[in-house]
Amino acid sequence: MPRIGFAFVPQTPAQAVDLIGRADAAGVETVWTVMGAVGIDTITLFAAAAERTDRVRFGTAIVPAFTRHPLGLVTQVVALEGLAPGRLRLGIGTAHARTMADVFGFDFSRPLAQLREYVEIVRPLLQTGAVDHQGAFYTARNVKIADPPGTPVLISALRAPAFELAGELTDGAISWLCPPGYLLRQAIPALAAGADRAGRPRPPLIAHVPVALSADQSAVYAAAKEQLAGYAAAPFYARMFADAGHPLDAEGRITDGLLDVLLVHGTPAEIADGLRRRLAGGLDELMVSLLPMADRGSEEEALLELLADVGRG
């Protein structure tokens, strides 16, 4: 099982395909793409990248599920698997109320129940080639596909109920900006509880780690507070930070204490050591994103090489 990968938000299709190609050339195990509800479609990007890469695995972290019918997503996955067999890990999630309700006008009153139905259609169809589902949110009656690719299906999770759902029904959970202690003490036990209820082994948890290639802590923290301010403004992230023991300050900002446990920064050797310690400490797999400081391009290149080295080690 892969242990470490690189996550990024595509800026343009050309930039994304080029970056995936550089990750493949460097020897990075997995590239994860982050997609907003109206962002660049990452399944399409991976189809283009599949023609220019040889071995790197593709992960979506995440495709906002409710923007397309589950059968529509399955057809995209089947096409990509035909181009890059066995290289996709399909991460899906609910996205956020402010995009689903405010932008699309969707009912977002029961997102986890809707996600459950979504998984109950997508995963069996990709694993067994057949599904028959009639639910409160979706219909997929007597659907069959030839040669199901067996694509792993994961979901994003932030708090215990979503981790439990991942443990019960999916091939893994994807976290974002969650402190390691929170994942070890709360997320992994919830993931295990869901798996126990279903009588199955606990699937892996993919832990997001922001990395800055700088030893200047004050500069790193200043950049982090600016770049992560949008998460602090989201109530669901604020609640998770509080659950993790790091509530926002009186003005609603991320604290230094949270950054102490959330970020990995320093020299390349210090960063590699910090990532290895997270794996040794009980996290199943890491999904590393760059917190750019000065020159994004050169920092991306250095981080890709570093992740490949850690993955090989």
Sequence ranges of the domains in the chain? 4-312
Peptide bond just before 121 cis, omega within 30 deg: no
Q: How many residues does the chain have?
A: 313
CB atoms within 10 A of CB 53: 21
4-312 domain in CATH 3.40.80.10? Answer: no
Angular region, 73: left φ>0, alpha ψ -120 to 50, beta rest: alpha
Question: Binning pLDDT at 50, 70 and 90, where does residue 1 land?
Answer: low
Separation of alpha carbons 203 and 188, rounded Å: 10
- Rounded to an integer, the average pLDDT of 25-35 is 97
* Structure confidence at residue 204 (pLDDT): 97
CB atoms within 10 A of CB 130: 12
pLDDT score of 291 more than 90: yes
Tokens at 312, concatenated: 């090989």
Separation of alpha carbons 231 and 225, rounded Å: 10
Question: Binning pLDDT at 50, 70 and 90, where does residue 31 land?
Answer: very high
* Structure confidence at residue 37 (pLDDT): 83
Nearest to 144 by CA among 129, 161, 124: 129
Write down the mean pLDDT value for the chain: 95
Question: Binning pLDDT at 50, 70 and 90, where does residue 2 land?
Answer: low
Q: How far is CA 236 from CA 16, 178, 232, in A?
A: 29, 12, 9
- Rounded to an integer, the average pLDDT of 291-305 is 96
Q: Which residue reads 């998460």 in tokens?
A: 231
pLDDT score of 102 more than 80: no
Range with the poorest average pLDDT among 20-29, 31-40, 113-122, 285-294: 31-40
Q: What is the sign, positive or negative, of the torsion defined by CA atoms of 215, 217, 218, 220?
A: positive
